[in-house]
Amino acid sequence: MRIAEVEARLKTSFVGKPIVYYPQVSSTNEVAKQLAREGAAEGTVVLAETQTSGHGRLRRKWFSPKGGLWFSLILHPKLEPTRLPQLTFMTAAATAKTIKDMYGLKAGIKWPNDVLVNRRKVCGILTEGCMINGKVKFAVVGVGVNANINLEELPLTVRKRATSLKKELGKPVSREELLCRLLLRMENAYLTLQREGFSPILEEVRSLSVFLGERVKIASFGECFVGLAENLDGDGALIVRLENGTRRKVVVGDLEVLSLEP
């Protein structure tokens, strides 16, 4: 990653100013959280070539070989703790739109935190917050994009459901350009969220979804069930119509789009 090129081309007002770059870290989210505790400014980005202990939701291992885009963004959102997932939706929409605009690929969102290209995962997002006295002191949004990675470096179980931009396009992409474009879109989306609330972001997520109207399998709090993903409510929770006709609201869980399974 050519950091000088990124800094020269970046058009944001505060996101990515500064960028803290490492050849290797355990996890960009962990580094970003420590920097935030030490007073790092909002908009600080922690960027690494590789992660040795990258993780997603529920501490699941996130494989981060060389060639990917692995970064975390420090934010100071005016949100209640229960609304922190809005940052995940915001970032998913920004990422999917950036990939569509830059490369013409069919990118979409799989609830709650994945971006897919042609049915396979190309990006994962992890939002973590620090709360003091019931208030959000800061949030860290971690983004992992399979940009130029070789899929053969991933474990077989992961490889079956993953892709990369390089794989889809048949050639490498400029990670510098991708990072600049993505950070600008994230900044604009964040400012929209702070000014106008979640509704504009939610409409983008709905329009980019690959799960609404599809038959899905949900795993939530040790329970699994199948139904039709009907909608997202005003907070981003998933409304599922079960096979017996009743509806369930899912706030936290894992989703499989059964019609998209390879």
CATH number of 215-260: 2.30.30.100
- What integer pLDDT is reported at residue 32 of this predicted model? 97
State how far the Cα of 10 lies from the Cα of 4, in Å rounded to an integer. 10
Token pair in block for residue 103:
């490369």
Encode pLDDT of 227-241 as tens digits: 999 999 999 999 999
Please, which pLDDT band fits residue 139 given cuts at 50, 70 and 90?
very high
DSSP per-residue letters across 33-54 = HHHHHTTPPTT-EEEEEEESS-
Give me the torsion for CA of 2, 113, 154, 145, rounded to 10°: -20
Encode pLDDT of 178-188 as tens digits: 999 999 999 99
- What integer pLDDT is reported at residue 153 of this predicted model? 83
Token pair in block for residue 30:
């962990």
The mean per-residue pLDDT over the stretch 31-52 comes to 96
Q: Where are the domains of the chain?
A: 3-208, 215-260
- CATH topology identical between 3-208 and 215-260: no
Encode pLDDT of 9-29 as tens digits: 999 999 999 999 999 998 999
Q: Find out whether 178 and 172 touch, Cβ atoms under 8 Å.
A: no
- What integer pLDDT is reported at residue 262 of this predicted model? 47
- What integer pLDDT is reported at residue 57 of this predicted model? 52
Nearest to 139 by CA among 206, 106, 91, 196: 91
Tell me whether residue 235 is exposed, middle or buried, using C-beta atoms within 10 angstroms of its C-beta: 0 to 12, 13 to 18, 19 or more.
Answer: middle
Please report the sign of the dihedral spanned by the C-alpha atoms of residue 30, residue 31, residue 32, residue 36.
Answer: positive
State how far the Cα of 94 lies from the Cα of 200, in Å rounded to an integer. 12
In CATH, 3-208 is 3.30.930.10: yes
- What integer pLDDT is reported at residue 101 of this predicted model? 97
- What integer pLDDT is reported at residue 261 of this predicted model? 52
pLDDT at 85 over 70: yes
Segments in 104-171 forming alpha helices (H): 156-159, 165-169
Please, which pLDDT band fits residue 65 given cuts at 50, 70 and 90?
confident
Q: Which residues contact 103 (CB under 8 A, 6 or more apart)?
A: 165, 168, 169, 173
* Residues facing residue 247 across a β-bridge: 241
Segments in 109-164 forming alpha helices (H): 156-159
Question: What is the residue-averaged pLDDT of the chain?
Answer: 92
- What integer pLDDT is reported at residue 55 of this predicted model? 59
